[in-house]
Amino acid sequence: MEEKKFTILIVDDEPSIRMGLAATIGHYGYSVITAVNGDDGFLKARQSLPDLIISDVMMPDLNGFEMKQQMSVDPLLSPIPFIFLTARTSTEDRVAGMRDGADDYVTKPFVTEELVARIEAVLRRVKTEQERGREQVKQAAHDEMEKLRREVLQNFSHELRTPLGNVMMSLDVVVNNKFKTAEEQNEFLRIAHSSADRLETLIADIILLADIDQNNLNMMRQVIDMEHHILAPIKRRQARYDSKGISFVHDINFSGVIKAPRREFTQSVMHLVDNAFKFSPQSGVVKLTVKPSENGGAVITVQDEGIGIPVELREKVFERFYQVSQGDGREFQGLGVGLTVARAVFTSLGGEVKILESAQGCYVVATLPDLRPEDIFYG
């Protein structure tokens, strides 16, 4: 692969010097742009973003120092290395040039080989610094990913071990003890069942994430039973939050028909409602609306009375493991994949999930389009 040519901008108000420099530097394989003064140089620099600028100091209007100062406040131009070219040879002038951010200072008259050597030295230094910067960025990204990986694995361990431990402990008590009343035994069975349900949810999410990564999401659309696939799972999930006293209100059009992959659809809607339960205040209200459209589609909204999500985070929260990445200090547990899963499922079907502005709490809208020609419908 051919190496990219460096582009050098030459700024000088004397035509003979400007043209001579352009010809000489171009002969050494550099791509050359010229500017007739400081104002023109500033404009050309913004247009071309050169790899290096060689500029005269003494020019009418905007001189070399002033041009460099203007560029230093522009994020795109400030990193460009500078070589000042001037007939002024005093130490004070050299110091002024370096103080203003020059990478080198060449006096007139100059020897061509010396100038080219200095150009090569500056570009070599800049390239080395850029490579070092890229390595530092790469290392920082690697360290951050490694930190997230450790947090995710630690969280997986906690989220899986807790319900599994509750199941085993409750069943062990039931098997090895005689109870005075059926109610006492049933309480342990209830704990085991509830924990098993939580464990099943976690495993289902892990499996669905694997399907998403392998681009293997189920897209076969079937009729959704509003009671069985929506309301019943939500009511079971609400039981996890009994201590919060949450009121669940729903507005579902039972006469309509929704057609979607059953397991994935149920899991996605469950995550949206579960998030509302999780972030609702004590005695809060969570409202679900389900409005089927003409041919299998639907608009689903979930509203809660929690603290809501700031505008700047409304896309961030859809990132996988976003909640986990907040560290051990996060208030709410979980794998941090609920919104990731919901958006992936609805998007795969041509729909979307987004967070809209709300006067109070969080307002999520999930849109499932009607059946498309490419969709597979069964049942």
Q: What is the pLDDT of residues 188-242, one digit of tens each?
A: 888 888 888 888 888 888 888 888 888 888 999 999 999 999 999 999 899 889 9
Q: Residue 148 pLDDT more than 80? A: no
**CA nearest to 344, candidates 203, 214, 177, 252:** 214
Architecture of domain 7-110: 3-Layer(aba) Sandwich (3.40)
The pLDDT value recorded for residue 205 is: 84
Average pLDDT over residues 19-44: 91
130 in helix, strand or coil? helix
Evaluate whether the domain defined by 220-377 bears CATH number 1.10.579.10: no
Lowest-confidence region among 142-151, 214-223, 336-345: 142-151
Average pLDDT over residues 44-72: 89
Q: Residue 325 pLDDT more than 50? A: no
292-296: long-range contacts, CB 8 A cutoff, minimum separation 24: 292/253, 292/256, 292/257, 292/258, 293/256, 293/370, 294/370, 295/259, 295/370, 295/371, 296/221, 296/257, 296/258, 296/259, 296/260, 296/368, 296/370, 296/371, 296/377
pLDDT band at 351 (very low <50, low <70, confident <90, very high): very high
Q: Which CATH number fits domain 145-208: 3.40.50.360, 3.40.50.720, 1.10.287.130, 1.10.10.10?
A: 1.10.287.130
Tell me the domain boundaries of the chain: 7-110, 145-208, 220-377
What is the spatial distance between Cα 378 and Cα 232, in angstroms, rounded to a whole number?
23
Burial of 163 per CB tally in 10 Å (0-12, 13-18, 19+)? buried
> pLDDT above 90 covers what percent of the chain?
37
The pLDDT value recorded for residue 3 is: 56
Q: Residue 8 pLDDT more than 80? A: yes
Residue found by looking up tokens 């247009």 in the block: 47
Lowest-confidence region among 49-58, 88-97, 103-112, 369-378: 88-97
Average pLDDT over residues 116-134: 83
Angle separating helix axes 112-176 and 15-27, nearest 10 degrees: 60
- Cβ proximity of 9 and 33 under 8 Å: yes
What is the spatial distance between Cα 279 and Cα 271, in angstroms, rounded to a whole number?
12
Average pLDDT over residues 254-260: 94
139 vs 247, residue with greater confidence: 247
Q: Residue 89 pLDDT more than 80? A: no
